[in-house]
Structure 1
Amino acid sequence: MTIATGSRHSLAYIAEATYGATPATPAFRQLRHKSTTLALTKNTMQSEELRGDRQIADLRHGTVQVGGDMQGELSYGAYDDLFAAALGGSWNANVLKAGTARTSFTLERNFADIGQYLRYTGCEINGLHFDVQPGAIANVTFDVIGQAEAVDANIVAGATYVAASANRPMDALSGAIKEGGQVLGVVTELKLDLANGIEPRFVIGSAKTLQPSIGRSNLTGTLTAYFLDGSLLAKFIGETESSLELTLSDGTNSYVLLLPRIKYTGGQADVANDGPITLSLPIQALYDSATGTQLRITRSGA
Structure 2
Amino acid sequence: MSIANGSDRRIAYVAEATWGVTPATPSFKTLRSTGGGPGINKTTATSNEIYADRNVRNEILLGLDAAGAYNFEMAYNTFDDIFEAALFGTWTSNVLKNGSTGRSFTFEETLPIGDSAVTVSRFPGARISTLNLSIAARQPVTGSFGIMAQTEALPGGLLTGATYAAPTTNPISTASANVAILDFGLGGSAPAPKVRSLSLSVNNGLRVRPSVGNLFTEDFGLGDIDVTGNIEAYFETDDLYALALAHGSFATDFTVGNAATQRYRITMPNCRPMNPERRTGDNNDDVMVIIPFRAVLHTGEQCSIKMQRGVS
- 1:121 is matched with 124
- Kindly tell me the number of residue pairs found equivalent between the two proteins: 302
Question: Over residues 257-299 of structure 1, what are the superposed CA-to-partner deviations in whole Å (9 max), with x where a residue is unaligned?
Answer: 0011101111101233221011111111011111121111111
Contact residue 10 and residue 30 of structure 2 kept, 8 A: yes
**46-55 or 201-210: which moved more?**
46-55
Partner residue of 1:179? 184
Instruction: Report sequence identity in percent.
Output: 28
Question: What is aligned with 1:9?
Answer: 9
- 2:186–2:240 CA contact under 8 A, matched in 1: no
SS at match of 1:171: coil
**What is the distance in 2 between the residues matched to 1:236 and 1:71?**
31
The equivalences for 1:281-300 within 5 A come to 281-300=291-310
Give the Cα separation in 2 of the matches to 1:65 and 1:271: 45
Q: State the secondary structure of the residue aligned to 1:245.
A: strand
1:154 matches 2:157: yes
* Cα shift at 1:4: 1.2
**Which amino acid letter does the alignment assign opposite residue 102 of structure 1?**
G
Q: Shift of the alpha carbon at 1:129?
A: 0.4
* Correspondence list, 1:1-302, <5 A: 1-114=1-114, 115-173=118-176, 174-177=178-181, 178-180=183-185, 184-252=192-260, 253-274=262-283, 275-300=285-310
Please identify, of 68-77 and 179-188, the stretch whose mean Cα deviation from structure 2 is larger.
179-188
Structure 2: how far apart are the matches of 1:111 and 1:44? 28
Asked whether the equivalents of residues 29 and 162 of structure 1 are also in contact (C-alpha less than 8 Å), the reply is yes
Q: C-alpha separation between the residues in 2 aligned to 1:295 and 1:14?
A: 25
Aligned counterparts of 2:76 and 2:204: Cα–Cα separation in 1 = 24
Secondary structure of the 1:48 match is coil
> What is the deviation of 1:77?
0.9
Give the conservation status (yes or no) of the 8 Å contact 2:65–2:149.
yes
Q: Using the alignment, how far apart are the partners of 1:181 and 1:153 within structure 2?
A: 57
Contact 2:186–2:239 (Cα < 8 Å) also in 1:
no
1:96/1:142 Cα in 2 relative to 1: closer, same or farther (>3 Å)? same
**1:232 match: secondary structure:** helix
Could you list the per-position Cα deviations for residues 58-90 of structure 1 after superposition, in whole angstroms to 9, with x for gaps in the alignment?
101111111000111010111000100010111
Q: Which amino acid aligns with 1:3?
A: I
Query: Which segments of 5 or more consecutive residues in structure 1 lack a partner in the other structure?
Result: none
For structure 2, list consecutive stretches of 5 or more residues without a partner in the other structure.
none
Mean alpha-carbon deviation: is it higher for 195-204 or for 251-260?
A: 251-260
